[in-house]
A and B are shown apart, each in its own frame.
Chain A
Amino acid sequence: MKEIVLAKYGEIVLKGLNKRSFEDMLTKNIKRRLKSLGRFELFFAQSTTYITPLDDDIELSEVVDRVGKIFGIAALCRACVCEKDFSDITEKSIDYLKDVLSSVETFKVNAKRADKAFPMKSPEICAELGGILLEKFPNLKVDVKNPQITVTVEIRDTNAYIHAENIKGAGGLPVGSSGKAMLLLSGGIDSPVAGYMMAKRGVNITAIHYVSPPYTSDRALLKVEQLCEKLTDYCGGIAFYCVPFTEIQEAIKDNCPEEYFTIIMRRLMMEIAQRIAEKDNCLALITGESVGQVASQTMAAISCTDAVCRIPVFRPLIGMDKTEIIEIARKIDTFETSVLPYEDCCTVFTPRHPKVRPSLEDVEKAQGKFDFEPLIQKAVENTEMKTFSYTK
């Protein structure tokens, strides 16, 4: 019995004349994710990509797992390939779906007849096949309104397909279709989630991270690199910039009032990020901030940070609770890595009593006590870049 995977488009179906470019992007992404599993044939019809494995030893559950993480796909399912012949369809339905059908109580049959040359009409297929399945599985009852399982028969140009279980896809838009943005990745729980959420909207993610040895360790950097690697499951390849930040942090400590440490540090981080973003053609910055979570994320503090930004800053987590963020972090498998207990640059020299409602004027005055420009330039110059590609 030959099995394939059907991937159904999400939002792309709503696109107009440029729909094609989204589809191409999606195809490219699917191909890239499946490459290491073997050879596949892809074809499209009615907002669905038909993924047919060409090698015998391809594990379909792994295909489902990988395709389930590709943005742009709303739902997917495994389907059995049949001849376009009703007796073959019934025979294979019984065999292919026996496990599912014997474990539920209610079902319905749904038929899609794209090939109008097929002798039976859709309602006939539903009625006939439904009757046969009812006879074969005495535990079943038909429920057209709210069935536990919907058996779908699709009659296409070359083959017919049967499937029953829809798996939810990753949703969103194909990565790369919305341009590139730079994610400030600290190593905590929030920033990887923020990256994931923007990737879901089709944004290509570039990451930037700040290291302050000896205040931060090799392990802290390694942890962030692992997070990048995990994100590639969803985001595809990621360019990763690592900024040496020790001197700047020491300069803040030596020259600025303590209650402004964090806010000044964030402004300088933003400054460096956007300089590198501009060089790398990133159109925006992404942070994992959420209003009121910590002192530097109050509305007053955010507006002080924003004052140095010349490009948009996206904060997809802005209205989310920690528990909601953690839920996503667990889903995308970054949580366990994020909570590894290594000091990162954000927690170096944390003030005992940070200013919760700083005014821009005061912050600028505090920062103005020292000329950071040469240090910023030096940090940008000494930034190292490496790329993480989808490695599976």
Chain B
Amino acid sequence: MSVYLDNAATTKPCAEAVKAILETVTENFGNPSSLHRAGLNAQLAVDKARKIIADSIGADNGEIYFTSGATESNNLALRGIVSAYGKRKKKIIISSVEHASVEETASALEKQGFEVVRVSPRDDGQFYADDFAGVCDNDTCIISMMFVNNETGHILPVGETFKKVKRRFPEIITHCDCVQGYMKIPIRVNNLCADMMSLSGHKVHAVKGVGVLYIKKGVRLIPIITGGHQEKGVRSGTESVPLIVSFGSAVEKYSPTVSERFEKVSSLKKYLLERLAEIDGVIVNSPENASPYIVNISACGKRSEIMLHFLEQKEIYVSSGSACSKGQKSGVLEQFGIKGKNADSAVRVSMTSETTEKELDAFADALREGIEKIRG
């Protein structure tokens, strides 16, 4: 039996999502842009998924735009907004711990002449709204913050920050990368005061290749992909109806139980921490108030990659840092004050509500064994 504890990298598609794909691919294969009924049926299927996702974040149907994934959503958000509003407003504010799809996009824009301000956590490893609000000014075009950090589970004070920013500078566009929080922590666009929000399908038990950018009504952006004016011209390219429908089905299934599952995973996290406390030399890097879905630990100076492969032999799958960076040393951990040996030995355990205590036991036992056996 394999133990999959890398759900922040991707999740197993749920049966509903798989079924939805199969049905759509075989029976509802029309092009949503076609004028005939086959096209209309495909369009209706896309619109249904759109409504489910809109409802799940308290948005309006018309504010949901489908993309190929959260990386595209983040690119579209940043690049689209600076193209629209960045002629005079040259400042971009992000947190120092963003996912590469925001960080690298901001860096690319930096090379084009934009000023990028990266706000870091304070010495206690936490972010403060005032630190973000303090660097905003009339020159600021967009502020982008992730909701939950993908490596440590830190929850950033997005709502508080965006409210403060909007109160003083209503014209600054606020964007939140919600990938690791969506369907795990209750999220409403109004609460977050977000003008834009990126979501990903495969992190919520749908499949890879589909994401969403929520764009609040009235916010204008210049598309990065041009073509047949799909998605109201914001994202041209024939909609991937099967993937979109699968995203909708997964959200329909998980949306009603966000709070319930949060409780469940919180108690799983508590159990895991109890088990880890029994092992000498394990340091927990995730703070207490982090998302329970992600637990980042450092194992006794044993290099993450070796530990990862050791666990892999026992069919236990975890991650070192963020999976996207393929084991590269993470600058994010350092931002949170996790440095040197502790950063080198960081292991990320990420759960779902279907994770069991038995699986966590298997992980804890294997980790203990790894710490004993791995040399160096």
Contacts and interface: CB of A to CB of B under 8 A. Distances in A.
A and B pair up: yes
Interface of A: 57, 59, 61-62, 65, 99, 103, 217-219, 222, 333, 336
Contacts of A65: 190
A333 B60 CA distance: 10
B273 interface: no
A62 B57 CA distance: 12
A59 B190 contact: yes
B327 interface: no
A218 B40 CA distance: 8
A59 B40 contact: no
B237 interface: no
Given A59-B58, A222-B40, A103 B259 contact: no
B188 interface: yes
A63 to B, nearest CB: 11
A219 B35 contact: yes
B35 A59 contact: no
Contacts of A61: 188, 190-191
B186 A57 contact: yes
A59 B191 contact: yes
Interface stretch (B161-169, B286-294, B362-370): B161-169
A336 B167 CA distance: 28
Interface of B: 35, 37, 40, 43-44, 58, 60, 62, 163-164, 167-168, 186, 188, 190-191, 217, 259
Nearest to A336: B62
Contact of A59 (B37, B43, B163, B188): B188
- Overall SS of chain A's interface: helix
A20 B243 CA distance: 53
Contacts of A218: 37, 40
A104 to B, nearest CB: 10
A59 B190 CA distance: 9
A218 B35 CA distance: 9
B216 to A, nearest CB: 13
Contacts of B217: 333
A222 B163 CA distance: 38
Given A99-B163, A217-B35, A62 B58 contact: yes
Contacts of A333: 60, 62, 217
A99 B190 contact: no
A357 B373 CA distance: 97
A62 B186 CA distance: 14
A214 to B, nearest CB: 11
Contacts of A336: 62
A57 B35 contact: no
B161 to A, nearest CB: 12
